[in-house]
Amino acid sequence: MNVQSIIGDTPLVELTTFDVPSGVRLFAKLEFMNPGGSIKDRMVDYVLADAERRGLLRPGATIVENTSGNTGAAIAMLAAARGYRAVLTMPDKVSKEKRDALRALGAEVVICPTSAAPDSEKHYVSCARRIHAETPGSFMLNQYDNPLNAEAHFRSTGPEIWEALGPAVTAFVASGSTGGTISGVSRYLKQRNPAVTSVLLDPVGSVYHRWFHHGVLDPAEIAPYFVEGVGEDHLAQCMDFSVVDDVLRFTDADAFAACHHLARHEGLLCGGSSGANVWGALRVAHSLKGPATVVTVLPDSGGRYLSKIYNPQWLSENGFGPGATSERDDDL
């Protein structure tokens, strides 16, 4: 047995402390229980295995990728296990815990300004592409535009959800950046039952919400937000809107409030994207009449955000007063 062999088959638990309509059940897949600590383990392992089979990734090569942290952790873990070098670029809003974890696994980390425009040389995606071009024999996953990203979830996450719940699944809800999770899982579930509803969650400051509803890509909408690993400042080719039925917009406060409820009442210490996913799942749950089952994923652990989401001083300094993350009964 090796580290790759224990990726996937994560537990699916029912969330029981939230106020939902009678007959509506809420389930969450604990993706932070993957060995690298996040849902990104699935995609990275799948893409690297494909690259190795096709001779695109050779022994001792360098893996280069842009990441908000979790993809980087998966790359660093698997690079160490398989004997590759890893060079990872990330925006400076990424938590210190994530940066330190990547370095501990032997990866080289290049920090780029979060404020850099998508077409700027300083943008973390542009930086990764430059390093890849300058490094002979290197391999770049290109997670935002690689169809294998969504295929990984079509072949693993989606089937696992269906195996556990089957036709009971009414809706799948998840935030997205690359779009791999929402696209792959939704495509699989809809193939099993076309009536399954798929809902993408998008943070204020990202472009997906307006693009989905109005077909407009407005640079003026791009703005900073604190939740990591979700939303985007450009359209990722991996995002398949043809399998998405609706896009809901959330705020940092929405996500963080759900995080605190998960920790204090469900015993689940999760990251901001998990909070966003649960907030969205609750919104969808309240639109349904039982019997119905809403499923989401908890992409990573709150242990990577102790200096931020779970730090009262950080919350206060960034405008999240006591009311911003307190449990609001009308929403949760």
CATH of the domain at 68: 3.40.50.1100
Distance between CA atoms of residues 137 and 79, nearest Å: 15
Band the pLDDT of 329: cuts 50, 70, 90.
very low
Q: Is the pLDDT of residue 330 over 80?
A: no
- Cis preceding linkage at 203, omega within 30: no
The average pLDDT across 171-186 equals: 97
Number of domains in the chain: 2
User: Is there a domain that residue 268 lies in?
Assistant: yes
Q: Report the Cα 328 to chain-centroid distance in Å.
A: 24
Encoded tokens for 226: 């604190």
Do 85 and 208 reside in the same domain of the chain? no
Which residue range forms the structural domain that includes residue 69? 40-140
Q: Give the per-residue pLDDT at 49.
A: 97
Distances (CA, A) of 19 to 23, 190, 330: 11, 27, 9
Given 29, 40, 98, 308, the catalytic residue: 40
Percent of the chain with pLDDT over 70: 96
Do 308 and 243 reside in the same domain of the chain? yes
User: Is there a domain that residue 168 lies in?
Assistant: yes
Band the pLDDT of 322: cuts 50, 70, 90.
low
Q: Is 40 a catalytic residue?
A: yes
Do 161 and 17 reside in the same domain of the chain? yes
Do 172 and 302 reside in the same domain of the chain? yes
List 240's β-bridge partners, or say none: none
- Among 19, 221, 166, 323, residue whose Cα is nearest residue 213: 221
Q: What is the pLDDT of residues 196-223, one digit of tens each?
A: 999 999 999 999 999 999 999 988 899 9
Do 190 and 307 reside in the same domain of the chain? yes
Do 245 and 224 reside in the same domain of the chain? yes
